[in-house]
Structure 1
């Protein structure tokens, strides 16, 4: 339903969406006769501002299209619908460009193929930050001043240096991909922006062995689904999302070497290519896997139902709940992810080869040679994993 109080919008389940009909004389340049996109807000004031801004940008863009296409020789031969030719305000020449929205769609349609929903959401979110700070523009209209204003807006949000780096990397990737794919020949103003990359970053500490012993004992005392997740992570060093999104069928307990298979599934993807692996189950992790298999109602379903109710793994929910539970048992600067740091130290302590450590943890290879061959076998991996079990 179109909302009268906020022009060019409709409201669906509380969220505002922008909707604008494409003019008849330009509709041939679009694959759909109406421009529709989420404004990503439920707030009236924010929706109104963004809708008016988008409408103004569309009016400007359509005006450029009418002028440029009217003067452009051979416009009837133009096949690249996503690329618009606009008159540069800096010089009397025609330059190729496209809007940030179009650049994001091109980036996701090609680079996002087969990637998890979080990849798409991150691209939309980070470019949304840019629109909030500098407005929705054609790529060639973004300047160094915009990039600096964008940086300042992210700092004002209180984001840590690592978060700002991820956001800038995403914006740079979208800009560069569209620029290269359509040979726009534009200079990217978002590269080499200075900011304190260490700001707000706290060093994550490993969990001490004596604390892990206490935590694992507590997990067995509680003996519930949430504690099975903690126990599974504690002696495998899995990333939380890898464990929370595992399927019951990934737990291979009838194999001579009990292990868990880490691979993408319909509930969650994996962080990197190297994340796909097998990890022997020992100690508390083996106990947790046995409890999961014994009590599961669906052998083909997710191992942790409470974190996969929507059809997608909710690792954030698991992280929040488990970190709150862990807090009394761990030192300052430790969290659930600290089990991965501890795992690396525990494997070092038993002289586990670095290449095997990387294989067990799903860490990226340091050199090309590590990517050759099939890696260590399950029996070899189990030998070192047994050596780190805390008695």
Structure 2
């Protein structure tokens, strides 16, 4: 869901720490960063320099309870946001990637072109369909721009990125979940 709605790479998601979920001026976001802690227990890498970024939490993920999940993980005392994703290899998500390949095959998806990274491609297409300017969805996904002028300034404000990422929709049933939940709550006399 994070890859689909926020365009993050698998390793960026898998190596997130609880402390990487931040709130600035009321906008929840992921801080995609690097890190090597003192005992090298936690190592976070990025693909490119432009991958360092803040990605606003998509409103659908908020509606589905992601913030409550983050709080549960925080209260449990975990460092990693997804503590069950582990690997003995350098990449945190190596084992998860293998699991996902089996999962999609078992679901009948046999094309070698359909991989976890396809969610990122779908996100980019959804950004285009929503009319999000290319430089904005490049900022969301950490893609480097090629113009010299693109290197000037600090980039887009988080609030602008949040407004743009909120335009990404797929017409899926859970995108309407909050209204349905409210209707059920009202029907139940709540």
**TM-score range with shorter-chain normalisation?**
0.7 to 0.9
Q: Which residue of 2 aligns with 1:159?
A: none
Once the two structures are superposed, what CA deviation does each residue of 1:303-361 show, in whole Å capped at 9, x if it has no partner? 12222465954221111112322442768421110011111111011111111111111
CA contact 2:126–2:169 (8 Å) conserved in 1:
no
| Aligned twin of 1:384 | 164
Cross-structure match for 1:315:
93
Matches within 5 A, 1:287-326: 287=64, 289-296=66-73, 297-298=76-77, 301-308=79-86, 313-326=91-104
Conserved 8 A contact 2:87-2:94 = no
For the pair shown, the structure with the greater C-alpha radius of gyration is 1
Residues 330 and 265 (structure 1 numbering): CA distance in 2 closer, same or farther, change over 3 Å?
A: farther
Q: Is the 8 A contact 1:358 1:364 kept in 2?
A: yes
Within a 5 Å distance, the mapping from 1:186-335 to structure 2 comes to 231-253=1-23, 256-266=26-36, 267-286=43-62, 287=64, 289-296=66-73, 297-298=76-77, 301-308=79-86, 313-327=91-105, 328=107, 332=111, 333-335=113-115
Structure 1 residue 368 corresponds to structure 2 residue 138: no
- Distance in 2 between the 1:256 and 1:382 partners? 11
Secondary structure at 1:325 match in 2: helix
Indicate the SS of the match to 1:339. Answer: helix
User: Within the alignment, does 1:353 sit opposite 2:133 as a pair?
Assistant: yes
| Cα distance in 1 for residues equivalent to 2:84 and 2:145 | 34
Q: How far apart are the structure 1 equivalents of 2:55 and 2:108?
A: 26
RMSD over aligned CA atoms reads 2.4
Give the CA deviation at 1:275. 0.2
Q: Which sits farther off after the overlay, 258-267 or 288-297?
A: 288-297
Regions of 4+ moved over 3 Å: 283-289, 308-313, 329-332
Distance 1:284 1:323, change over 3 A: farther
Unmatched runs of 5 consecutive residues or more in structure 2: 37-42, 176-190
Question: Which has the bigger relative contact order, CA under 8 A and spacing at least 6?
Answer: 2
Structure-2-length-normalised TM-score: 0.74
1:366 partner SS: coil
Partners of 2:90 and 2:66 in 1: CA distance: 21
Where does residue 118 of structure 2 map in the other structure?
338
Task: Give the superposition deviation at 1:288.
Answer: 6.3
Equivalent residue pairs, number: 160
C-alpha change, 1:295 and 1:310, in structure 2 (3 Å) is farther
Gaps (5+ residues) in structure 1? 1-230
